[in-house]
Structure 1
Amino acid sequence: MGQSVTWRVVGASAIGTSHADSGTPCQDSCWAQVDQLLNGSPLLTMFVADGAGSAINGGQGAELAIATAAELMTQKAMQGEFDLDNQLAIDLVLAIRVRILAEAEAQHLKARDYACTFLGVVSSPAGTLVLQIGDGAVVLDTGSGLELAITPMSGEYVNMTHFVTDENAVEILARKTYPDKVLKVAAFSDGIQRLALDLASNTPHEPFFAPFFTVLATATAEQEDQLHHLLMKFLNSAPVNERTDDDKTLAFAHWMF
């Protein structure tokens, strides 16, 4: 039997130097996985969450958001067919909010104490859904070259953004659908934005992404086991830390023919 046609994925989160210096744990969290639908088709799910620095449990909020989204998509994959549409995006956000609100209530805290951004990609051969609340970004290629799926959200003031815990989260939720599967996709938190995007034009900085996609496409089965280690090494490298002191998350997927 040959290797099945699917995506090769890798994702990692690394603490920023400012958090390391202050003894604050990493407040980013991510997920990148391929499941199989009942019809045998692969389903790619990628999620990134970044806990708000102003929230006392922002990192825990990010972890809850990722776990909730991953569990919901695993359930949907097991149940059978579903649409990659606006309703799925809303379902994901509502499920995350229910989970975080329940945790906040149990701890006698407020939802904003768990504030975090959230973005994700769900893709199958039937199409692709991108959803986002807050900053960070998704860059993808469905056959027409790399593009920024959704412009990172900024708030009313500098260094402010929106969070999945905001009361109007469903209203500010941005989503975009594509009729095709993703061939290449990267999702990342705002700690990577200035390296990965041309912020003046809100376009992907292609030289940043090209080496990652090349490695994903050409790695042998033995080398695939090293991908996470290599990504962590990159995120913790001096050239990256010289450009950003924030927590950093990067997740990649490459369609393997």
Structure 2
Amino acid sequence: MTAVQNTWRVFGASVTGKAHLDKDIACQDAHAHAVVGGVLLAIVCDGAGSARLSEQGAQFVAAQTVQALAGRLEQGATVQDLQDGALAATLAQIRAALDDIARAADATLDDYAATVVGAVMGADTGFFFHLGDGLAVAQLGDGGELISLPANGEYANETYFLSGERWREQLRLLAIPQAASGIVLMSDGCMPFAMSKNNGGLYAPFMDAVQGYLRTVDSVGLGNAALASTLADPRTHQITGDDKTLLLALRA
């Protein structure tokens, strides 16, 4: 592994929320990441609670999106190429593959419904890609934060999924125009305690402690275990019953 590929340390955990623990339902969140030539690829997917195979959908979309984008970068694509259309084309291919899986399983594409919130971040510029709820934050070099906010539908608890017929018009890209010291992706289950009021920024009392620890931990494995333990703390059950996923990429 080259030195440039070590510019990011990436930590992530997906844990089952109380509502699913009580009903013995598996976590329907998933996350994945890769670093290719110094470019960070990261994604969090949240399976729809109403979709019977959403756990599989979230896992498939997360893993396949990162794998496909990594392949494009390895073949010479740039961050700008991905932003200019290759990202949307990749999601279209993954959606088609998921449709094939659904047909083979005598299911529908909606059975695998999942949201998407992800980041592509190079040395100096990048972008968020976002479909549905969840949230993304870029911690910028000047100390500011760039936030990609959740998108919800017309009704309470309604959001958008890759399986939806209008997914292309609901897909949002947000340019990150400068270097970032950190990228934070989360499912909506983390937002009540990881974000400040009205999602105006990261909630410093929680996030500063988490990131401070992760910057000093000896291994990514230990960091992931500590992050999972933090998210699974029963005290979070008083705040949210939802599954919780948090992915943090820290520039080394």
- The 1:208/1:86 distance shift into structure 2, 3 A limit, reads farther
**Do the aligned partners of 1:89 and 1:175 also contact (CA within 8 Å) in 2?**
no
Cα-to-partner distance string for 1:16-64 (whole Å, 9 max, x where unaligned): 111111111110000133233xxxxx12111000100110111111011
Q: Taking structure 2 as the reference length, what is the TM-score of the superposition?
A: 0.91
- 1:101 to partner: Cα distance: 1.1
Matched, 1:251 2:252: no
Please, which of 26, 42, 48 is the counterpart of residue 44 of structure 2?
A: 48
Instruction: Identify the residue that residue 217 of structure 1 maps to in structure 2.
Output: 215
Q: Taking structure 1 as the reference length, what is the TM-score of the superposition?
A: 0.89
Matched, 1:185 2:186: no
Instruction: Identify the residue that residue 35 of structure 1 maps to in structure 2.
Output: 36
- 1:171 to partner: Cα distance: 0.6
User: When the two structures are aligned, how many residues end up with a matched partner?
Assistant: 249
**For 1:167 and 1:217, how far apart are their aligned partners in 2?**
41
RMSD: 2.0
Any gaps of 5 or more consecutive residues in structure 1?
Answer: 37-41
Cα-to-partner distance string for 1:65-87 (whole Å, 9 max, x where unaligned): 01210111221132123233141
- 1:9 to partner: Cα distance: 0.8
Please, which of 52, 57, 67 is the counterpart of residue 53 of structure 2?
A: 57
Partner amino acid, structure 2, of 1:162: Y
Equivalent position SS for 2:240: coil
Equivalent position SS for 1:208: helix
Partner amino acid, structure 2, of 1:97: R
- The 1:91/1:199 distance shift into structure 2, 3 A limit, reads farther
- 1:4 to partner: Cα distance: 6.7
- The 1:224/1:58 distance shift into structure 2, 3 A limit, reads closer
Runs of 4 or more above 4 Å deviation: 1-5
Instruction: Identify the residue that residue 13 of structure 1 maps to in structure 2.
Output: 14
- 1:223 to partner: Cα distance: 4.4
Any gaps of 5 or more consecutive residues in structure 2?
Answer: none
**For 2:17 and 2:163, how far apart are their aligned partners in 1?**
23
Instruction: Identify the residue that residue 132 of structure 2 maps to in structure 1.
Output: 134
Instruction: Identify the residue that residue 233 of structure 2 maps to in structure 1.
Output: 237
- 1:207 to partner: Cα distance: 2.5
Partner amino acid, structure 2, of 1:244: T
- 1:176 to partner: Cα distance: 0.7
